[in-house]
Amino acid sequence: MRVFLTLLAVASAAFVFAGAAPAPIIPSDPIPDCDDPGASAPCFVSITKNGTTTLHQNDVLETGVEVIGGQTFVIEGARHWNFSIQDEHGDFNLNTADTYEVVLDIGNGNPGETFSRGQNVVIDRDTSVAGHHTVTFTMSPVPVSYTLSGCNGNGTCPTRPDVEATGYLEGSVDNLNYITDPADEAAMQGWDLVASTDWISSPPTLDYDTHTFIIDAANSHCANLGPDPCVPFVGGVSMTFPFAMLSHLYEVDAPATLGSSNFSVTGAGGAASTDVTVDDAGHVVHVDISGMTFSKHRLKVIGDMRPGAVKNLKAVRPSGNAGKLKFDPAKAHGSKVRGYKATCKSGTGLVAHGSADASPLKVKGLTPGVKYRCTVWAKTRFGDGPKRGVDMPR
pLDDT at site 224: 73
Section 209-229 average pLDDT: 79
Find the helix or strand (DSSP H, E) in which 243 lies: helix 243-250
Same domain, 53 and 181: yes
Is residue 224 domain-shared with residue 350, that is, in the same domain?
no
Q: Mark whether 338 and 286 lie in a shared domain.
A: no
Distance CA 314, CA 359 (A): 10
Q: Do 109 and 42 contact (CB within 8 A), yes or no?
A: yes
Share of the chain above pLDDT 70, in %: 90
Among the candidates 303, 333, 359, a domain finishes at 303
Q: Considering the chain, what is the average pLDDT of its residues?
A: 86
CA of 391: how far to CAs of 42, 313, 344, 347, 361, in Å?
69, 10, 9, 11, 14
pTM beyond 0.75: the answer is yes
Identify the band that residue 63 occupies on the pLDDT scale cut at 50, 70 and 90: low
The residue out of 303, 325, 356 marking a domain boundary is 303
Identify whether residues 193 and 341 lie together within a single domain: no
pLDDT digits (tens, 9 = 90+) for 237-288: 999 999 999 888 888 888 888 888 888 888 887 778 888 888 888 899 999 9
372/315 same-domain check? yes
- Look at 61-65, 94-98, 279-283 and tell me which has the smallest mean pLDDT: 61-65
Give me the mean pLDDT over the 288-298 stretch: 86
Structural domain tally of the chain?
A: 2
Burial of residue 63 (number of CB atoms within 10 Å: 0-12, 13-18, 19+): exposed
Tell me the residue range of the domain where 45 lies.
Answer: 3-303
The verdict on 299 and 315 lying in the same domain is no
- Alpha carbons within 13 A on the beta-carbon side of 90: 6
- Taking only the tens place, the pLDDT of each residue in 341-375 is 999 999 999 999 999 999 999 999 999 999 999 99
**Do 270 and 348 have their domain in common?**
no
- Same-domain status, 226 and 143: yes
pLDDT of residue 242: 93
**Distance from the first to the final alpha carbon of the chain:** 44
SS3 label, residue 284: strand
Tell me the mean pLDDT in the region 306-317: 96
Of 206 and 118, the one with more pLDDT: 118
CATH of the domain at 378: 2.60.40.10
Q: Which DSSP string do the residues of 18-49 spell out, in sequence order? A: --SS---EEEEEEP-BTTSTT--SSEEEEEEE
SS3 189: coil
Domain boundary among 278, 303, 328: 303
Answer whether 387's CB lies under 8 Å from 309's CB. yes
DSSP 250: H
pLDDT at 62 (0 to 100): 63
Residues 244 and 330 in one domain: no
The answer to whether residues 210 and 104 belong to one domain is yes
pLDDT digits (tens, 9 = 90+) for 19-56: 333 344 566 678 999 998 989 999 999 999 999 989 88
Report the range of poorest mean pLDDT among 64-78, 143-157, 220-234, 264-278: 220-234
Same domain, 206 and 318: no
Contact present, 322 and 246 (Cβ < 8 Å): no
Based on the fold, state whether residues 54 and 123 are members of the same structural domain: yes
- Asked whether residue 130 carries a pLDDT value surpassing 90, the answer given is yes
User: Could you give phi then psi for residue 262, rounded to 5 degrees?
Assistant: -80, -5
